[in-house]
Chain A
Amino acid sequence: MNDPASACTRVARPISWMIALASCTVVGCHPSEPNGATQLNTVANPTRPAPGSAPPPGEGPANISVPDSASPPEDGQWTMPSRDYANTRFSGLDEINTANVGKLQLAFTFATGTLLGQESAVLAVGDTLYFVTPYPNILYAVDLNAPGGGLKWKFDPKADAASQGVACCQPVSRGPVYSNGRIFYNTTDAHTVAVDAATGQLQWKTRVGDFNYGETFTMAPLVVKDKVLVGNSGAEFGARGWLAALNASDGSIAWRAYSTGPDRDVLIDPSEFKPFYPQYRGTDLGVSQFPPDHWKIGGGTVWGWISYDPDLDLIYYGTSNPSPWNHEVRPGDNLWTNGMFARDPDDGHARWFYQISPHDLWDHSAVNENLILDMNWEGKPRKVVVRPDRNGYMYVIDRVNGELLAADPFTYITASKGVDLKTGRLIHNPDKIPSQGKVVREVCPNSPGAKDWTPSSFSKRTGLMYVPHNEMCMDWEIKPVSYIAGTGYLGVNARFYPGPGDHIGELMAWDPVARRKLWSVPERWPVWSGTAVTAGDVVFYGNLEGWFKAVHARTGEVLWQFKTASGIIGQPTTFRGPDGRQYVAILSGIGGWAGAIVSSELDERDPTAAKGFGNMVGELKKQSGIGGMLYVFALPR
């Protein structure tokens, strides 16, 4: 339904043939067209494997795998939002498969009692489902043994209501994590809680950040050994970013690694810190790559996904945009914002760093997931992470030493001219550098980027990544801004609009070995949900209108869909119930940055509402209701 050729002809309609040519290049119709971005990469990597290197059904892919230590065998559960340390979101269950998924039907529903964006993953541990609502951050335990999914217990962390005022894009939660009999999760008012998974009793609660300075929590923690890893949100408020490790036993803070400031705060020890590129070597670069003292309000929050490689014993995560959005306020590379760290989980010490977007111009926060994969790279096995970034490039980075191996565009890009594979630096487009007093137009991708927080998945069977992503552009105007603690720190007017293609969002199948897009499922609106893929070769995701879809993992054919009551921005999960059957769970409930227009009832007559989404998603109010609901599906008995 969306072969590259027809996508190309559709794209070729726009008035300007030059735009069409560039778009075609980006969607992969003509990989060798003279687009600056593509060319750079092609030159550095002249030998690309043939397209369609995914193996036939039934076999594992030849040149790519997930290390077993980071992705344990299937046990029918889903205990952390990203499914495993490798962040695959791949389930080994195959009772639901491409042949029978068309018969999938609703098993039960459960109201969340909240109206804003439902981004939480639904965990399945034993006979219980767990998920977290947006503020007031209620943790629900749903009993799978009760007919129709009864309430086992619920836990209210009594989060401070005022903290909602510093949650940039609704006070969402990306979910809880289960470990060793307890559920850990983060609250909007910057606390981490540990709750007994059986009884719902609070074990400990730690105030990790201060929302009076714009710090909130939206991310799901990751438990590595005896540490609960949590990172703050709030770079839209000048919050200084950090990742903290809490001792799982009592919630005390074991270490905290800042993303800005002196080396001792960033936990950089020159004897252990060995970044691949020279621009990251030096003393206190987190101070000197900002104007004096600006690092204290410099952003670089850690609100995305964390991966862990147990063999190397390293964690990987990205840091967000620097503060404020107005880049003229903060000359320099703004280290260590918008990049990724590899750290030792025991003491937090940094091993290497790579900066995705130095001196960020567009809020291209670099917090997206890093999939831990082992690849055959130019004839040699390499341990890598693959990450689709907001700036529109698919990065392949050696996870041992932080060397950039590839950065291939997967969307229409005007904001930059590519990534220099020798220096590792993103090349800004000189025509688009914002300066005060002018409006920069046709900046693509826009601030939420080619792909926002919405997590990808990777199938161990097809060897493909399933990436929810978007093609949007924007007009961008910078203006004076002053820091007022606890209020926004942006200094930008923006308005967003669709990119040159005929659709805004899509679920894309990306072949990490051939480094190209194979197919996509087009969506009218930005795709704001995560994905999951199963051994039944089915990919699940949802759209902002509320359709929950099952897609053939090899062909992209939509095999089944179900209309939920509200737009979907959650993370699908699948599990084996106590009755032995396979279930699929998703939270419906529009919101987040893209859906705030609907559920926060914003006024789209202002194109700058929701930081620019007001200009493009007002129509969604007619297509999605408001309200959070858990939907669980299964095959008929």
Chain B
Amino acid sequence: MCSRYLASLLLIGCSVLAGCEREQRAFHDQAPAIQSVSPTSFRAGGKSQPVAKDPEADKYERNAFHISEGKRYYEWYNCYSCHAAGGGDIGPPLMDDRWRYGGEIEQIYSSIVEGRPNGMPSFAGRIPDQQVWQIAAYVRAMAGNAAKTAVPARGDEMKNTKPLTQIPHTPVRTERPKTQR
């Protein structure tokens, strides 16, 4: 009798304790401060920190060899099949001044590596890092945003767009992404 009473008491006690845990809440005084949110470094599906700045990145879009290599890889890796010679097809144009995911070389690099949600595949692990930078530099050149002294004056393929040396710079984003600089 007594033991049964004790058992019930124990049971009730346990339930109360468990209930307390269930009802327990953690209150915060305020939302944590975030110092570096930037709408221009939007990344699809990836981690939220901005693209790591490659110390060499600037050199790619100022270097004729890298841009010309980028052009080759742009075809090799079938970038052409979706973006044509910059005018676009399945994917958006790359020669105009609209950049869904940012037009800085780091952002283009990041779009190639990570892919984007509406059909841009991720080439992570499929294209060596330096080649991605070279492709990104060539993409910059398509929109007139690489150094004019570095871009090729003519291509070998059938095409009647203006030579890349004559594509006007697209004055969209004169400021570099503020994060990580």
Contacts and interface: CB of A to CB of B under 8 A. Distances in A.
B128 interface: no
A484 B127 CA distance: 12
A83 to B, nearest CB: 31
B90 to A, nearest CB: 6
Contacts of B81: 236, 487-490
B19 interface: no
Contacts of B114: none
A607 B75 contact: no
B88 A603 contact: yes
Contact of B89 (A481, A482, A607, A610): A610
Contacts of B76: 482
Given A479-B75, A490-B81, A596-B89, A603 B95 contact: yes
Q: Find the residue from B87, B90, B117, B162 having the highest chain A CB count within 10 A.
A: B90
B158 interface: yes
Contacts of A488: 78, 80-82, 90
A477 B157 contact: yes
Contacts of A315: none
A439 interface: yes
Contacts of A604: 87
B65 interface: no
Interface string B7-34: 0000000000000000000000000000
B84 A165 contact: no
A164 B90 CA distance: 8
B108 to A, nearest CB: 17
Given A489-B81, A495-B158, A609 B87 contact: yes
Interface in A138-173: 161-169
Contacts of B50: none
Interface stretch (B118-126, B132-140, B146-154, B173-181): B118-126
B88 A607 contact: no
B70 interface: no
B82 to A, nearest CB: 6
B84 A606 contact: yes
B86 interface: yes
A606 B90 contact: no
B78 A165 contact: no
B161 A607 contact: yes
Majority-rule SS of B interface residues: loop
Contacts of B84: 602, 606, 608-611, 614
A544 B113 CA distance: 37
B93 A609 contact: yes
B160 interface: yes
B141 interface: no
B21 to A, nearest CB: 38
A1 B135 CA distance: 53
B102 interface: no
Most buried by B among A162, A169, A490: A162
Contacts of B85: 493, 606, 608-609
B88 A600 contact: yes
Nearest to A490: B81
Contact of A493 (B95, B118, B121, B159): B159
Given A489-B81, A606-B84, A165 B118 contact: yes
A603 B93 contact: yes
Contacts of A622: none
B10 to A, nearest CB: 51
Given A482-B76, A495-B158, A602 B82 contact: no
Interface string B90-132: 1111011010000000000000000101111100001000000
A605 interface: yes
A416 B139 CA distance: 38
A602 B82 CA distance: 11
A486 interface: yes
Contacts of A162: 115, 117-119, 121
A268 to B, nearest CB: 32
Nearest to B167: A605
B92 to A, nearest CB: 7
A475 interface: yes
A601 interface: yes
Contacts of B95: 603, 605-606
A161 B121 CA distance: 12
B93 A165 contact: no
B121 A486 contact: yes
A548 B93 CA distance: 30
B162 A605 contact: yes
B117 A161 contact: yes
Given A165-B82, A482-B76, A601 B118 contact: no
B78 A163 contact: no
B88 A602 contact: yes
A487 B93 contact: no
Contacts of A614: 84, 87
A493 B87 contact: no
A603 B98 CA distance: 11
Interface in B21-77: 75-77
Contacts of B77: 484, 487
Most buried by B among A236, A480, A601, A602: A602
Nearest to B82: A488
Contacts of B93: 601-603, 606, 609
A71 to B, nearest CB: 37
Contacts of A603: 86-88, 93, 95-96
A166 B119 contact: yes
A610 B78 CA distance: 14
A448 B121 CA distance: 26
B107 to A, nearest CB: 18
Contacts of A601: 88, 92-93, 98
Nearest to A212: B121
Nearest to A614: B87
Contacts of B75: 479-480
Contacts of A605: 86-87, 95, 161-162
A447 B121 CA distance: 26
B157 A493 contact: yes
Nearest to B76: A482
A489 B93 CA distance: 19
Given A236-B81, A484-B77, A600-B92, A608 B159 contact: yes
A608 B75 CA distance: 13
Interface in A575-619: 596, 600-611, 614-615
26 contacts: A161-B119, A165-B82, A165-B121, A439-B158, A477-B157, A477-B158, A479-B75, A482-B76, A487-B81, A487-B82, A490-B81, A493-B158, A495-B160, A600-B92, A602-B87, A603-B95, A605-B95, A606-B85, A606-B86, A606-B95, A606-B161, A607-B161, A609-B87, A609-B89, A609-B93, A614-B84
Interface of A: 161-169, 236, 439, 475, 477, 479-482, 484, 486-490, 493, 495, 596, 600-611, 614-615
Interface of B: 75-78, 80-82, 84-93, 95-96, 98, 115, 117-121, 126, 157-162
Sorted from nearest, which 7 A-B pairs have the closest CB atoms?
A: A165-B119, A488-B81, A606-B87, A609-B87, A603-B93, A487-B78, A603-B87
Given A488-B90, A611-B89, 9 more contacts: A439-B158, A475-B158, A482-B76, A493-B159, A601-B93, A603-B93, A604-B87, A606-B87, A608-B158
